[in-house]
Copies of this chain bind each other. A is one copy, B any other.
Amino acid sequence: MDKLLYGVAYYDEYMPYDRLDTDILMMKEAGINVVRIAESTWSTVEPQDGVFDFTHTDRVLNAMHKAGISVIVGTPTYAVPTWLVRKYPDILAITPDGPNRYGARQNMDISNPNFRKHAEIVIRKIMEHVKDHPAIIGYQVDNETKAYNTAGPEVQKLFVKYMQEKFKSLDVINKEFGLDYWSNRINNWNDFPSTVGTINASLGSEFSKFQRKLVTDYLTWQASIVKEYKHPEQFVTQNFDLDWRGYSYGIQPDVDHFAAAKAMDIAGVDIYHPTQDKLTGIEISLGGDLTRSMKGGKNYLVLETEAQGFAQWVPYTGQLRLQAFSHLASGANMVEYWHWHSIHNSFETYWKGLLSHDFEPNPTYNEAKTIGKDFERLSSHLINLKKKNKVAVLFSNEALTAFKWFGFGWGSKESYNDILRPLYDALYRMNVGVDFVDPSSNNLEDYKLIVVPALYAAPDSLLQRLNRFVKNGGHVVYTFKSGFSDQNVKVRTSKQPGIIEEACGISYSQFTIPENVSLKGDPYNVGVEKNKVSTWMELITPTTAKVLAYYDHPVWGKYAAITENSYGKGLATYIGCSTSTAVTEKIVEGALKKADLWGLDQQLSFPLITKSGVNEKGKTIHYYFNYSSVASSFSYPYKEGKELLSSESVIKNKEIQIEPWGLKIIEEN
């Protein structure tokens, strides 16, 4: 990537009247230098079976090229045309709730042969048609792809085949999955029942893993088709997305991001988040750290983020700028809005773009113009920022899925991401740069501290690797429920926390739900309310560990809540219960200090956020963000440099003011 990209999604197909030239003029004014087009427009490009119409694609490509705006072309496959479903009704996925209905996007069975056949036809036709167009810098395959819970009879056949290949023998499955329970034993491959009704977490989790594999396989297949046509300098990407809670929240349950990203040249992501008084930057940071980590620290593309978005997200003055530069500070090389203008019909009419429905300039668009100018002016300073973090968060899709089955008990609502987020948030608020690793990562040794939330399901090998990591001098912070079951969601028959007991120096075999339980003696000085323990507590007995906190309770008071253990050259902290945000931060702070990771950036904390990296010139860039509606200031602690937005020079220990929702970018000399 040779310049920062500032972009919008653009759908000529959806326009109520021809506005292409006017739109391009307005884009140029805003510094937009890339548009993403064509995903989800299958019915326009192939209005009938085998009939193709490239009118919209051609005119947009040509006009953009003429205007000097680059284009990312998306394959249109995540929304199926009416004629296709009429021809092959079985293209609609059968989920546990029954067959899907026509209407929404992402309703298909991505493993369906007829879907695959026609997806391939339309992709090849498009590629053949556009491949040599000079406006195109890259391709996006599909969009926010998942398996959409496809689980019909044909998918079940594929699953049984997958199980045969993976486990070879039913005896192994019966044993490892515990299928004797409630007569679920399978004695003949032909008897393999649909997993839709299963009450066996091992089987259910394996089916989820299989569904995630469908996603990886499907994206790899799409990428391989596109690669047959694309030019070497063009990239293939996918728009990955996060766990959705009305906004981007955490690890995506339905995709193995690290696996699926392998087939991509560059990772892409969409990140949506609350704004106004609720803007914190956490989702921008988390989504960025995750996407950057997908390709081993390579810079990434923010393929979608909000301009106005939902009504409740209309940004305050300054917020659009703050957001845009926050993406860059996490390593993004592109910030692209979904979408240029607001749509006049259908589902996302109130998911507003940079322009409102009237296509006129508005405060949000006007602020975008300042961003576009700054992106262009500062591109060479801000592009390709390299980050080197000493802290990683270990996440696991296997643990996440298993936790859905066995979280805090029937009826509990907390999920894996509810445990991961407070830890990530604590690190964010303390201005600690973070990467993500997953069980497939082989670079654990690059880090001094690894934070491990609720690693509920994991193979022996991973836990042993973590033990070795500590033994060799690494630091780990584990939460409760880590190590509890193996990769087949079979609970370990050893004492808990299973294999990591060795590094953690503790054991337990009982656990309960806390009622009126606190940490004895308020060891983190947080006051009565914040000292409370909620949701889950393990009744821990230390073997070699030092107890950081005991429970305060007439019966459970003899058990440890939080422990720390020296093991080999390293240290393992274990959090045996759900703690308040304040306590969690204190525990993480303690672990950072023990790992000698408490530095200058930790003098600041949220809402003053700082991020840094090294730019292409080899110079260190320090971003400072004020995530609040109150002006603030800080003392700049690094060597002399220049604030890039103002071009003012900055010396060490200078007191720097930041306005509400403002930012500073300092490049060290």
Bound: A344/B105 CA distance, A: 39
Residues of chain B within 8 A of A531, CB atoms compared: none
User: A312 contacts which of B314, B348, B488, B513 (Cβ < 8 Å)?
Assistant: B513
In the complex, how many angstroms separate the beta carbon of A95 from the nearest chain B beta carbon? Answer: 13
CB of A357 closer than 8 Å to a CB of B: yes
Which of A77-85, A133-141, A566-574 has 4 or more CB atoms under 8 Å from chain B?
A: A77-85
Q: In the assembled complex, how far is the CB of residue A169 from the closest CB belonging to chain B, in whole angstroms?
A: 14
Chain B nearest Cβ from A19, distance in angstroms:
9
Q: A657 near B: Cβ within 8 Å?
A: no
From A96-104, A230-238, A580-588, A594-602, give the one contacting chain B: A96-104
Residues from chain B with Cβ under 8 Å of A350 in the complex:
406, 409
Tell me whether B357 and A493 are in contact (CB under 8 A): yes
Given the complex, which residues of B lie within 8 Å of A50, measured CB to CB? none
Q: Are B197 and A100 in contact (CB under 8 A)?
A: yes
With a cutoff of 8 Å between Cβ atoms, the chain B residues found around residue A409 in the complex are: 310-312, 350
Q: Please tell me if A647 contacts chain B, counting CB pairs below 8 Å.
A: no
Is the beta-carbon distance between B183 and A40 smaller than 8 angstroms? Answer: yes
Q: Which of A150-193 contact B (CB under 8 A)?
A: 177-188, 190-193
Contacts of A47 in B (CB 8 A): 185, 187
Query: How many angstroms between the C-alpha atoms of A363 and B491 in the bound complex?
Result: 20
Q: Which B residues lie within 8 Å of A179 (CB)?
A: 43, 345-346
Chain B residue, CB-CB nearest to A360: B509
Within 8 A of B (CB), among A531-581: 536, 539, 554-555
Q: Say whether B493 contacts A17, CB under 8 Å.
A: yes
- Given known contacts A104-B199, A180-B13, is B311 in contact with A44 (CB within 8 Å)? no
CB within 8 Å for A14 and B629 given contacts A43-B187, A356-B509, A495-B360: no
B residues in contact with A76, CB < 8 Å: 183
Q: Which of B41, B102, B184, B185 contacts A197 (CB 8 A)?
A: B102
Alpha-carbon distance between A316 and B556 when the two chains are bound, in angstroms: 9
Stoichiometry, as copies per complex, reads: 3
A 96-117 contacts with B by CB, 8 A: 100-105, 107
Is there contact, CB below 8 Å, between A347 and B185?
A: no
A482 to chain B, nearest CB (A): 15
List the B residue with the shortest CB-CB distance to A492: B357
Please give me the residue from chain B that is nearest to A45 by CB atom: B183
Confirm or deny: A510 has a beta carbon within 8 angstroms of a beta carbon on chain B: yes
- Choice from B183, B191, B317, B358 contacting A493 with Cβ under 8 Å: B358
A430 lies within 8 A of chain B by Cβ: no
Q: Is A201 an interface position by the 8 A CB rule?
A: yes
Interface residue? A389 (CB, 8 A): no
In the complex, what distance in Å separates the CA atom of A310 from the CA atom of B407? 12
- Which of B81, B343, B493 sits near A359, CB closer than 8 Å? B493
CB distance from A33 to the nearest CB of B (A): 25
Q: Check B496 against A358 for contact (C-beta < 8 Å).
A: yes
The yes or no answer to A656 lying at the interface (CB within 8 A) is: no
**A184, B510: Cβ atoms under 8 Å?**
no
Residues of B within 8 A of A43 (CB): 179-180, 183-185, 187
A512 to B40, CA, bound (A): 28
Which B-chain residue is minimally distant from A538 (CB atoms)?
Answer: B311
Closest to A508 in B: B356
A201: B residues at CB distance < 8 A: 345-347, 349
CB-CB contacts of A69-98 with B at 8 A, as 1s and 0s? 000000010011111011000000000000
* C-alpha gap A40/B202 in the complex (Å): 19
> Main SS of chain A's interface residues?
loop
A364 B82 Cβ-Cβ under 8 A: no
Chain B residues in 8 Å Cβ range of A198: 102-103
A554 CB contacts on chain B under 8 angstroms: 629
Is there a chain B Cβ closer than 8 Å to A669's Cβ? no
Interface residues of A in 274-292 (CB under 8 A from B): 276-277
Cβ B178 vs Cβ A345 within 8 A: yes
Contact A345 B312 (CB under 8 A): no
Q: Is A441 an interface residue (CB 8 A)?
A: no
Interface flag for A48 (CB, 8 Å): yes
Chain B min CB distance to A655 (Å): 25
Of chain B, the residue at the smallest CB distance from A362 is B509
Please give me the residue from chain B that is nearest to A512 by CB atom.
Answer: B314
Interface string of A372-414 (1 = CB under 8 A from B): 0000000000000000000000000000000000101111000
Given A86-B193, A629-B554, also A48-B188 (CB < 8 A)? yes
In this assembly, does A21 line the interface, its C-beta being within 8 Å of a C-beta of chain B? no
Query: Which chain A residues (123-156) contact chain B, with CB distance < 8 Å?
Result: none
The reply to whether A184 and B103 contact each other, CB–CB distance below 8 Å, is yes
Nearest 5 pairs of A and B residues by beta carbon: A178-B345, A101-B197, A103-B197, A43-B185, A356-B509
Q: A179-B346, A357-B496 are in contact. List 17 more A-B contacts (CB 8 A).
A: A41-B183, A43-B185, A44-B180, A44-B183, A47-B185, A178-B346, A181-B343, A200-B345, A201-B345, A246-B410, A276-B515, A276-B555, A312-B515, A314-B510, A314-B539, A316-B555, A358-B494
Q: Can you offer 19 A-B residue contacts whose CB atoms are under 8 A?
A: A11-B180, A11-B181, A14-B181, A16-B490, A43-B184, A79-B182, A103-B196, A178-B344, A179-B345, A179-B346, A181-B348, A182-B346, A200-B345, A276-B512, A276-B555, A312-B513, A344-B493, A345-B488, A554-B629
